[in-house]
Chains A and B, each alone.
Chain A
Protein backbone atom coordinates (compact mmCIF):
# COMPACT_ATOMS: atom_id res chain seq x y z
CA UNK A 1 0.00 0.00 0.00
CA UNK A 2 3.01 2.27 -0.34
CA UNK A 3 1.73 4.30 -3.26
CA UNK A 4 -1.80 5.02 -2.10
CA UNK A 5 -2.76 8.48 -3.25
CA UNK A 6 -3.22 9.73 0.33
CA UNK A 7 0.14 9.34 2.01
CA UNK A 8 1.41 10.82 5.21
CA UNK A 9 2.49 14.22 6.47
CA UNK A 10 5.83 14.25 4.75
CA UNK A 11 4.36 13.28 1.38
CA UNK A 12 1.77 16.05 1.62
CA UNK A 13 4.42 18.56 2.70
CA UNK A 14 6.67 17.66 -0.22
CA UNK A 15 3.80 17.69 -2.70
CA UNK A 16 2.64 21.16 -1.61
CA UNK A 17 6.18 22.48 -1.63
CA UNK A 18 6.82 21.02 -5.07
CA UNK A 19 3.60 22.47 -6.44
CA UNK A 20 4.40 25.94 -5.13
CA UNK A 21 7.97 25.81 -6.40
CA UNK A 22 6.71 24.76 -9.83
CA UNK A 23 4.18 27.58 -9.84
CA UNK A 24 6.87 30.08 -8.86
CA UNK A 25 9.06 28.93 -11.75
CA UNK A 26 6.16 29.32 -14.16
CA UNK A 27 5.91 33.00 -13.17
CA UNK A 28 9.58 33.77 -13.27
CA UNK A 29 9.01 37.46 -13.87
CA UNK A 30 7.37 37.87 -10.50
CA UNK A 31 10.30 36.27 -8.75
CA UNK A 32 12.44 39.26 -9.51
CA UNK A 33 9.97 41.82 -8.22
CA UNK A 34 10.91 41.72 -4.52
CA UNK A 35 14.58 41.94 -5.42
CA UNK A 36 14.04 44.91 -7.73
CA UNK A 37 11.94 46.56 -5.05
CA UNK A 38 14.72 45.94 -2.53
CA UNK A 39 17.30 47.53 -4.83
CA UNK A 40 15.01 50.47 -5.60
CA UNK A 41 14.31 51.30 -1.95
CA UNK A 42 18.02 51.10 -1.23
CA UNK A 43 18.65 53.48 -4.17
CA UNK A 44 16.23 56.02 -2.76
CA UNK A 45 18.20 56.56 0.42
CA UNK A 46 21.50 57.93 -0.92
CA UNK A 47 19.36 60.27 -3.05
CA UNK A 48 17.16 61.25 -0.13
CA UNK A 49 19.77 61.55 2.60
CA UNK A 50 23.31 61.92 1.33
CA UNK A 51 25.67 60.15 -1.07
CA UNK A 52 28.49 60.58 1.46
CA UNK A 53 29.93 57.08 2.23
CA UNK A 54 30.56 58.07 5.85
CA UNK A 55 26.87 58.84 6.38
CA UNK A 56 25.72 55.81 4.38
CA UNK A 57 27.94 53.32 6.18
CA UNK A 58 26.42 54.52 9.44
CA UNK A 59 22.85 53.78 8.41
CA UNK A 60 23.56 50.88 6.04
CA UNK A 61 22.77 47.94 8.40
CA UNK A 62 19.38 49.26 9.45
CA UNK A 63 18.55 50.47 5.99
CA UNK A 64 19.31 47.16 4.33
CA UNK A 65 17.31 45.29 6.92
CA UNK A 66 14.30 47.62 6.71
CA UNK A 67 14.34 47.53 2.90
CA UNK A 68 14.55 43.73 2.87
CA UNK A 69 11.74 43.55 5.42
CA UNK A 70 9.52 45.76 3.27
CA UNK A 71 10.33 43.73 0.17
CA UNK A 72 9.37 40.53 2.00
CA UNK A 73 6.18 42.20 3.22
CA UNK A 74 5.26 43.30 -0.29
CA UNK A 75 5.43 39.77 -1.62
CA UNK A 76 3.24 38.37 1.17
CA UNK A 77 -0.05 39.54 -0.24
CA UNK A 78 0.23 37.08 -3.12
CA UNK A 79 1.17 34.16 -0.84
CA UNK A 80 -2.38 32.77 -0.63
CA UNK A 81 -4.13 35.16 -3.02
CA UNK A 82 -3.82 33.19 -6.27
CA UNK A 83 -4.74 29.94 -4.55
CA UNK A 84 -7.73 31.68 -3.02
CA UNK A 85 -8.84 33.07 -6.36
CA UNK A 86 -8.62 29.80 -8.30
CA UNK A 87 -10.11 27.70 -5.51
CA UNK A 88 -7.10 25.48 -4.83
CA UNK A 89 -6.94 26.83 -1.28
CA UNK A 90 -10.29 25.19 -0.61
CA UNK A 91 -8.86 21.91 -1.92
CA UNK A 92 -5.99 22.34 0.50
CA UNK A 93 -8.49 22.68 3.35
CA UNK A 94 -10.22 19.48 2.29
CA UNK A 95 -7.10 17.30 2.34
CA UNK A 96 -6.89 14.72 5.13
CA UNK A 97 -3.47 16.03 6.21
CA UNK A 98 -3.34 18.84 8.81
CA UNK A 99 -3.61 22.26 7.24
CA UNK A 100 -0.80 23.58 9.46
CA UNK A 101 1.75 21.37 7.71
CA UNK A 102 0.53 22.34 4.24
CA UNK A 103 0.62 26.01 5.24
CA UNK A 104 4.17 25.50 6.44
CA UNK A 105 5.09 24.06 3.03
CA UNK A 106 3.67 27.14 1.30
CA UNK A 107 5.61 29.40 3.67
CA UNK A 108 8.78 27.43 2.99
CA UNK A 109 8.30 27.94 -0.75
CA UNK A 110 7.71 31.65 -0.15
CA UNK A 111 10.91 31.94 1.86
CA UNK A 112 12.92 30.02 -0.77
CA UNK A 113 11.89 32.55 -3.41
CA UNK A 114 11.91 35.81 -1.43
CA UNK A 115 13.80 35.60 1.87
CA UNK A 116 16.69 33.57 0.59
CA UNK A 117 17.29 35.61 -2.61
CA UNK A 118 17.05 38.82 -0.58
CA UNK A 119 19.69 37.49 1.81
CA UNK A 120 21.94 36.59 -1.13
CA UNK A 121 21.55 39.95 -2.89
CA UNK A 122 21.89 42.05 0.28
CA UNK A 123 25.73 42.09 0.38
CA UNK A 124 25.78 43.45 -3.17
CA UNK A 125 23.61 46.37 -2.11
CA UNK A 126 25.75 46.60 1.02
CA UNK A 127 28.73 47.49 -1.16
CA UNK A 128 26.71 50.29 -2.73
CA UNK A 129 25.90 51.65 0.73
CA UNK A 130 29.53 51.42 1.91
CA UNK A 131 28.68 48.83 4.53
CA UNK A 132 31.83 48.38 6.64
CA UNK A 133 33.90 45.29 5.84
CA UNK A 134 33.56 42.21 8.00
CA UNK A 135 29.79 42.39 8.30
CA UNK A 136 28.74 41.08 4.89
CA UNK A 137 28.50 37.42 5.84
CA UNK A 138 26.63 38.30 9.00
CA UNK A 139 24.22 40.45 7.01
CA UNK A 140 23.40 37.53 4.74
CA UNK A 141 23.16 35.04 7.56
CA UNK A 142 20.97 37.25 9.75
CA UNK A 143 18.70 38.02 6.80
CA UNK A 144 18.44 34.34 5.90
CA UNK A 145 17.41 33.34 9.44
CA UNK A 146 15.35 36.45 10.10
CA UNK A 147 13.42 36.39 6.83
CA UNK A 148 12.24 32.86 7.61
CA UNK A 149 10.59 34.23 10.76
CA UNK A 150 9.26 37.15 8.71
CA UNK A 151 7.66 34.76 6.21
CA UNK A 152 6.10 32.68 9.00
CA UNK A 153 4.70 35.65 10.93
CA UNK A 154 3.65 37.41 7.75
CA UNK A 155 1.80 34.35 6.51
CA UNK A 156 -0.57 34.70 9.50
CA UNK A 157 -1.48 38.19 8.30
CA UNK A 158 -1.72 37.04 4.69
CA UNK A 159 -4.05 34.22 5.72
CA UNK A 160 -6.21 36.60 7.76
CA UNK A 161 -6.57 39.12 4.94
CA UNK A 162 -6.81 36.78 1.95
CA UNK A 163 -10.61 36.97 1.94
CA UNK A 164 -10.62 40.77 1.96
CA UNK A 165 -10.65 42.37 -1.47
CA UNK A 166 -8.05 45.05 -0.82
CA UNK A 167 -6.18 43.59 2.11
CA UNK A 168 -2.72 44.83 1.15
CA UNK A 169 -2.54 47.94 3.33
CA UNK A 170 -4.32 46.19 6.17
CA UNK A 171 -1.80 43.36 5.95
CA UNK A 172 1.09 45.74 6.62
CA UNK A 173 -0.78 47.34 9.51
CA UNK A 174 -1.27 43.92 11.12
CA UNK A 175 2.16 42.50 10.48
CA UNK A 176 4.71 45.31 10.80
CA UNK A 177 4.39 45.65 14.61
CA UNK A 178 5.07 41.92 14.91
CA UNK A 179 8.20 42.27 12.76
CA UNK A 180 9.95 44.59 15.20
CA UNK A 181 11.72 41.95 17.35
CA UNK A 182 13.18 40.29 14.24
CA UNK A 183 14.35 43.67 12.95
CA UNK A 184 15.97 44.55 16.28
CA UNK A 185 18.02 41.36 16.51
CA UNK A 186 18.79 41.24 12.79
CA UNK A 187 20.21 44.77 12.72
CA UNK A 188 21.80 44.08 16.09
CA UNK A 189 23.80 41.19 14.64
CA UNK A 190 25.12 43.29 11.74
CA UNK A 191 25.87 46.22 14.02
CA UNK A 192 27.73 43.93 16.44
CA UNK A 193 29.79 42.54 13.56
CA UNK A 194 30.74 46.10 12.53
CA UNK A 195 31.70 47.02 16.08
CA UNK A 196 33.67 43.80 16.45
CA UNK A 197 31.47 42.53 19.29
CA UNK A 198 30.19 38.98 19.60
CA UNK A 199 27.40 38.18 17.18
CA UNK A 200 26.43 34.87 18.75
CA UNK A 201 23.84 36.35 21.12
CA UNK A 202 21.98 38.17 18.32
CA UNK A 203 22.01 35.19 16.02
CA UNK A 204 20.88 32.95 18.88
CA UNK A 205 17.94 35.29 19.50
CA UNK A 206 17.08 35.26 15.80
CA UNK A 207 17.20 31.47 15.92
CA UNK A 208 14.99 31.47 19.00
CA UNK A 209 12.45 33.70 17.26
CA UNK A 210 12.52 31.36 14.28
CA UNK A 211 12.04 28.31 16.50
CA UNK A 212 9.12 29.92 18.29
CA UNK A 213 7.44 31.03 15.07
CA UNK A 214 8.04 27.62 13.46
CA UNK A 215 6.27 26.07 16.40
CA UNK A 216 3.33 28.47 16.73
CA UNK A 217 2.77 30.24 13.41
CA UNK A 218 1.56 27.19 11.39
CA UNK A 219 -1.40 26.72 13.77
CA UNK A 220 -2.33 30.39 13.54
CA UNK A 221 -1.98 30.25 9.74
CA UNK A 222 -4.24 27.19 9.56
CA UNK A 223 -6.86 28.78 11.83
CA UNK A 224 -6.75 32.02 9.84
CA UNK A 225 -7.14 30.21 6.51
CA UNK A 226 -10.18 28.37 7.86
CA UNK A 227 -11.73 31.67 8.96
CA UNK A 228 -11.01 33.32 5.62
CA UNK A 229 -12.61 30.51 3.67
CA UNK A 230 -15.39 29.20 5.88
CA UNK A 231 -16.21 32.50 7.59
Chain B
Protein backbone atom coordinates (compact mmCIF):
# COMPACT_ATOMS: atom_id res chain seq x y z
CA UNK B 1 0.00 0.00 0.00
CA UNK B 2 2.62 2.53 1.10
CA UNK B 3 5.06 1.55 -1.60
CA UNK B 4 2.24 2.06 -4.11
CA UNK B 5 1.65 5.60 -2.85
CA UNK B 6 5.37 6.33 -2.70
CA UNK B 7 5.77 5.26 -6.31
CA UNK B 8 3.22 7.89 -7.37
CA UNK B 9 5.30 10.46 -5.54
CA UNK B 10 8.17 9.92 -7.96
CA UNK B 11 7.87 12.28 -10.93
CA UNK B 12 9.14 9.65 -13.36
CA UNK B 13 6.62 7.04 -12.22
CA UNK B 14 3.84 9.61 -12.19
CA UNK B 15 4.72 10.66 -15.73
CA UNK B 16 4.69 7.09 -16.98
CA UNK B 17 1.52 5.97 -15.22
CA UNK B 18 -0.52 9.10 -15.87
CA UNK B 19 0.10 8.58 -19.57
CA UNK B 20 -2.07 5.47 -19.32
CA UNK B 21 -4.86 7.02 -17.24
CA UNK B 22 -5.01 10.34 -19.03
CA UNK B 23 -6.73 9.32 -22.32
CA UNK B 24 -9.54 7.64 -20.37
CA UNK B 25 -10.09 10.73 -18.25
CA UNK B 26 -10.27 12.91 -21.35
CA UNK B 27 -12.63 10.53 -23.16
CA UNK B 28 -15.03 10.14 -20.22
CA UNK B 29 -15.10 13.82 -19.31
CA UNK B 30 -15.54 15.12 -22.86
CA UNK B 31 -18.26 12.55 -23.49
CA UNK B 32 -20.06 13.59 -20.31
CA UNK B 33 -19.74 17.30 -21.10
CA UNK B 34 -20.98 16.78 -24.67
CA UNK B 35 -23.93 14.69 -23.47
CA UNK B 36 -24.78 17.15 -20.71
CA UNK B 37 -24.56 20.15 -23.02
CA UNK B 38 -26.84 18.73 -25.69
CA UNK B 39 -29.23 17.29 -23.12
CA UNK B 40 -29.35 20.45 -21.03
CA UNK B 41 -29.61 22.93 -23.88
CA UNK B 42 -31.89 21.04 -26.25
CA UNK B 43 -33.90 18.41 -24.38
CA UNK B 44 -34.35 19.56 -20.79
CA UNK B 45 -37.76 21.22 -20.29
CA UNK B 46 -38.06 24.99 -20.14
CA UNK B 47 -38.32 26.53 -16.68
CA UNK B 48 -41.88 27.76 -16.06
CA UNK B 49 -42.37 28.00 -12.28
CA UNK B 50 -40.45 31.28 -11.91
CA UNK B 51 -40.89 32.38 -15.50
CA UNK B 52 -37.20 32.23 -16.23
CA UNK B 53 -37.78 30.58 -19.59
CA UNK B 54 -34.71 29.37 -21.40
CA UNK B 55 -32.34 31.60 -19.46
CA UNK B 56 -32.25 29.04 -16.64
CA UNK B 57 -30.10 26.85 -18.91
CA UNK B 58 -27.09 28.88 -17.78
CA UNK B 59 -27.31 26.64 -14.72
CA UNK B 60 -25.62 23.88 -16.73
CA UNK B 61 -22.42 25.90 -16.80
CA UNK B 62 -22.85 28.02 -13.69
CA UNK B 63 -23.39 25.31 -11.09
CA UNK B 64 -20.62 22.92 -12.23
CA UNK B 65 -18.16 25.83 -12.39
CA UNK B 66 -19.15 26.97 -8.91
CA UNK B 67 -18.77 23.42 -7.54
CA UNK B 68 -15.36 23.11 -9.13
CA UNK B 69 -14.17 26.50 -7.92
CA UNK B 70 -14.50 25.35 -4.32
CA UNK B 71 -13.33 21.78 -4.91
CA UNK B 72 -10.22 22.99 -6.71
CA UNK B 73 -9.25 25.17 -3.76
CA UNK B 74 -9.71 22.27 -1.37
CA UNK B 75 -7.73 19.92 -3.65
CA UNK B 76 -5.01 22.54 -3.97
CA UNK B 77 -4.80 22.88 -0.20
CA UNK B 78 -4.74 19.07 0.19
CA UNK B 79 -1.91 18.83 -2.35
CA UNK B 80 -0.10 21.62 -0.48
CA UNK B 81 -0.49 19.75 2.80
CA UNK B 82 0.94 16.58 1.22
CA UNK B 83 3.83 18.63 -0.14
CA UNK B 84 4.56 20.35 3.17
CA UNK B 85 4.29 17.22 5.33
CA UNK B 86 5.86 14.54 3.14
CA UNK B 87 7.88 16.80 0.79
CA UNK B 88 6.40 15.07 -2.26
CA UNK B 89 7.29 17.31 -5.18
CA UNK B 90 4.60 15.96 -7.50
CA UNK B 91 1.98 17.23 -5.06
CA UNK B 92 3.43 20.71 -5.31
CA UNK B 93 3.46 20.51 -9.10
CA UNK B 94 -0.22 19.53 -9.02
CA UNK B 95 -0.98 22.43 -6.65
CA UNK B 96 0.87 24.79 -8.99
CA UNK B 97 -1.22 23.87 -12.00
CA UNK B 98 -4.50 23.73 -10.08
CA UNK B 99 -4.39 27.37 -8.97
CA UNK B 100 -4.89 29.05 -12.38
CA UNK B 101 -7.57 26.51 -13.31
CA UNK B 102 -9.42 27.20 -10.06
CA UNK B 103 -9.21 30.94 -10.65
CA UNK B 104 -10.64 30.49 -14.15
CA UNK B 105 -13.49 28.33 -12.85
CA UNK B 106 -14.29 30.90 -10.17
CA UNK B 107 -14.34 33.58 -12.83
CA UNK B 108 -16.58 31.45 -15.06
CA UNK B 109 -18.97 30.94 -12.15
CA UNK B 110 -19.02 34.69 -11.44
CA UNK B 111 -19.40 35.65 -15.08
CA UNK B 112 -22.16 33.15 -15.82
CA UNK B 113 -23.87 34.28 -12.62
CA UNK B 114 -23.70 37.89 -13.79
CA UNK B 115 -25.11 36.99 -17.20
CA UNK B 116 -27.85 34.98 -15.51
CA UNK B 117 -28.60 37.95 -13.26
CA UNK B 118 -29.69 40.12 -16.16
CA UNK B 119 -32.89 38.20 -17.05
CA UNK B 120 -33.68 37.09 -13.47
CA UNK B 121 -32.73 40.04 -11.25
CA UNK B 122 -32.54 42.70 -13.93
CA UNK B 123 -28.96 43.60 -13.04
CA UNK B 124 -25.47 42.34 -13.77
CA UNK B 125 -24.34 42.29 -10.20
CA UNK B 126 -26.02 41.86 -6.84
CA UNK B 127 -24.20 41.68 -3.53
CA UNK B 128 -25.77 38.30 -3.03
CA UNK B 129 -24.15 36.05 -0.42
CA UNK B 130 -23.03 33.43 -2.92
CA UNK B 131 -21.71 35.95 -5.44
CA UNK B 132 -19.79 37.73 -2.69
CA UNK B 133 -18.17 34.57 -1.35
CA UNK B 134 -17.26 33.58 -4.92
CA UNK B 135 -15.61 36.96 -5.46
CA UNK B 136 -13.59 36.52 -2.27
CA UNK B 137 -12.61 33.03 -3.40
CA UNK B 138 -11.33 34.52 -6.66
CA UNK B 139 -9.16 36.94 -4.65
CA UNK B 140 -7.82 34.04 -2.59
CA UNK B 141 -6.85 32.17 -5.76
CA UNK B 142 -5.18 35.27 -7.19
CA UNK B 143 -3.28 35.73 -3.92
CA UNK B 144 -1.91 32.17 -4.04
CA UNK B 145 -0.86 32.58 -7.69
CA UNK B 146 0.74 35.99 -7.05
CA UNK B 147 2.63 34.79 -3.97
CA UNK B 148 4.07 31.81 -5.83
CA UNK B 149 5.27 34.08 -8.61
CA UNK B 150 6.78 36.68 -6.29
CA UNK B 151 9.65 34.55 -5.00
CA UNK B 152 12.93 34.40 -6.85
CA UNK B 153 13.52 30.80 -5.78
CA UNK B 154 10.89 28.29 -6.83
CA UNK B 155 11.26 26.27 -3.64
CA UNK B 156 10.43 29.20 -1.37
CA UNK B 157 7.53 30.17 -3.65
CA UNK B 158 6.13 26.65 -3.46
CA UNK B 159 6.32 26.53 0.31
CA UNK B 160 4.87 30.01 0.78
CA UNK B 161 2.00 29.30 -1.61
CA UNK B 162 1.34 26.02 0.24
CA UNK B 163 1.08 27.79 3.60
CA UNK B 164 -1.26 30.39 2.09
CA UNK B 165 -3.43 27.71 0.47
CA UNK B 166 -3.81 25.95 3.82
CA UNK B 167 -4.55 29.21 5.65
CA UNK B 168 -7.10 29.98 2.93
CA UNK B 169 -8.84 26.63 3.14
CA UNK B 170 -9.34 27.07 6.89
CA UNK B 171 -10.79 30.49 6.21
CA UNK B 172 -13.13 29.54 3.37
CA UNK B 173 -15.90 28.13 5.60
CA UNK B 174 -15.49 31.05 8.03
CA UNK B 175 -15.76 33.55 5.19
CA UNK B 176 -18.71 31.69 3.71
CA UNK B 177 -20.72 31.62 6.93
CA UNK B 178 -19.90 35.19 7.88
CA UNK B 179 -20.94 36.39 4.43
CA UNK B 180 -24.19 34.41 4.77
CA UNK B 181 -24.78 36.08 8.14
CA UNK B 182 -23.99 39.50 6.67
CA UNK B 183 -26.37 38.85 3.79
CA UNK B 184 -29.29 37.82 5.99
CA UNK B 185 -28.85 41.11 7.88
CA UNK B 186 -28.82 43.18 4.70
CA UNK B 187 -31.19 41.16 2.55
CA UNK B 188 -32.55 43.46 -0.15
CA UNK B 189 -36.30 43.37 -0.55
CA UNK B 190 -36.25 43.15 -4.33
CA UNK B 191 -34.78 39.69 -4.49
CA UNK B 192 -36.87 36.94 -2.94
CA UNK B 193 -35.88 33.60 -4.32
CA UNK B 194 -35.63 32.00 -0.91
CA UNK B 195 -38.14 29.18 -1.42
CA UNK B 196 -36.55 27.34 -4.27
CA UNK B 197 -39.01 24.93 -5.86
CA UNK B 198 -37.73 21.39 -6.28
CA UNK B 199 -36.17 20.84 -9.67
CA UNK B 200 -37.85 18.17 -11.79
CA UNK B 201 -35.75 15.13 -12.64
CA UNK B 202 -35.52 16.00 -16.34
CA UNK B 203 -33.77 19.22 -15.31
CA UNK B 204 -31.29 18.03 -12.72
CA UNK B 205 -30.21 14.83 -14.45
CA UNK B 206 -28.36 16.71 -17.23
CA UNK B 207 -26.99 18.99 -14.51
CA UNK B 208 -25.56 15.96 -12.72
CA UNK B 209 -23.99 14.78 -15.98
CA UNK B 210 -22.44 18.22 -16.47
CA UNK B 211 -21.08 18.33 -12.91
CA UNK B 212 -19.48 14.90 -13.35
CA UNK B 213 -18.13 15.97 -16.73
CA UNK B 214 -16.57 19.11 -15.24
CA UNK B 215 -14.93 17.08 -12.48
CA UNK B 216 -13.57 14.67 -15.07
CA UNK B 217 -12.27 17.62 -17.06
CA UNK B 218 -10.55 18.94 -13.93
CA UNK B 219 -8.84 15.59 -13.32
CA UNK B 220 -7.79 15.18 -16.95
CA UNK B 221 -6.48 18.73 -17.24
CA UNK B 222 -4.63 18.52 -13.93
CA UNK B 223 -2.96 15.28 -15.03
CA UNK B 224 -1.95 16.81 -18.33
CA UNK B 225 -0.62 20.04 -16.88
CA UNK B 226 1.15 18.23 -14.02
CA UNK B 227 2.92 16.13 -16.66
CA UNK B 228 4.03 19.30 -18.41
CA UNK B 229 5.18 20.76 -15.12
CA UNK B 230 7.17 17.59 -14.39
CA UNK B 231 8.95 17.91 -17.74
CA UNK B 232 9.63 21.58 -17.11
CA UNK B 233 11.08 21.08 -13.65
CA UNK B 234 12.98 17.87 -14.37
CA UNK B 235 14.33 19.24 -17.64
CA UNK B 236 17.91 18.35 -16.74
CA UNK B 237 17.22 14.89 -15.36
CA UNK B 238 18.55 11.89 -17.22
CA UNK B 239 15.15 10.28 -17.89
CA UNK B 240 13.64 13.44 -19.38
CA UNK B 241 16.61 13.93 -21.67
CA UNK B 242 16.28 10.30 -22.80
CA UNK B 243 12.55 10.79 -23.30
CA UNK B 244 13.10 13.80 -25.53
CA UNK B 245 15.81 11.98 -27.47
CA UNK B 246 13.42 9.08 -28.10
CA UNK B 247 10.69 11.42 -29.27
CA UNK B 248 13.00 12.84 -31.86
- Tell me which residues across on chain A come within 8 A of B182, comparing CB atoms: 184, 188
- Chain B, residue nearest A177 (CB): B139
Bound together, the chains give a CA A178 to CA B166 distance in angstroms of 12
Distance in angstroms between the alpha carbons of A178 and B142 in the assembled complex: 13
- Interchain CB contact (< 8 A) of B181 among A184, A191, A212, A216: A184
Q: Is the CB of A178 within 8 A of B168?
A: yes
Instruction: Please indicate the chain A residues that have their CB under 8 angstroms from the CB of B151 in the complex.
Output: 163-164
The interface bits of chain B over 25-57 (1 if a CB of A lies within 8 angstroms of the residue's CB, else 0) are 000000000000000000000000000000000
Q: Which residues of B contact A170 (CB under 8 A)?
A: 146-147, 150
Cβ-closest chain B residue relative to A195: B185
Minimal Cβ-Cβ distance residue in A for B144? A174
Interface size on B, residues (CB 8 A): 29
Q: Closest approach, in angstroms, between the C-beta of A225 and any C-beta of chain B?
A: 10
Contacts of B147 in A (CB 8 A): 160-161, 170, 174
Instruction: Specify which of A161, A177, A191 is in contact with B140 (CB 8 Å cutoff).
Output: A177
Describe B's contact surface by its main secondary structure: helix
Docked complex Cα distance between A167 and B178 (Å):
28
Contact B178 A173 (CB under 8 A): no
Asked if A160 contacts B171 (CB within 8 A), the reply is: no
Q: Which listed residue, B84, B146, B155, touches A231 by the CB 8 Å rule?
A: B155
Q: Is A227 a contact partner of B139 (Cβ separation < 8 A)?
A: no
Q: In the bound complex, what is the Cα–Cα distance between A227 and B167 (angstroms)?
A: 15
Q: Chain B's nearest CB lies how many Å from the CB of A38? A: 23
11 example contacts (A-B, Cβ-Cβ < 8 A) are as follows A161-B147, A161-B150, A167-B150, A170-B150, A177-B175, A185-B178, A205-B178, A220-B163, A220-B167, A223-B84, A227-B159
Q: A174-B146, A177-B175, A188-B185 are in contact. List 5 more A-B contacts (CB 8 A).
A: A161-B147, A167-B150, A173-B146, A177-B140, A209-B174
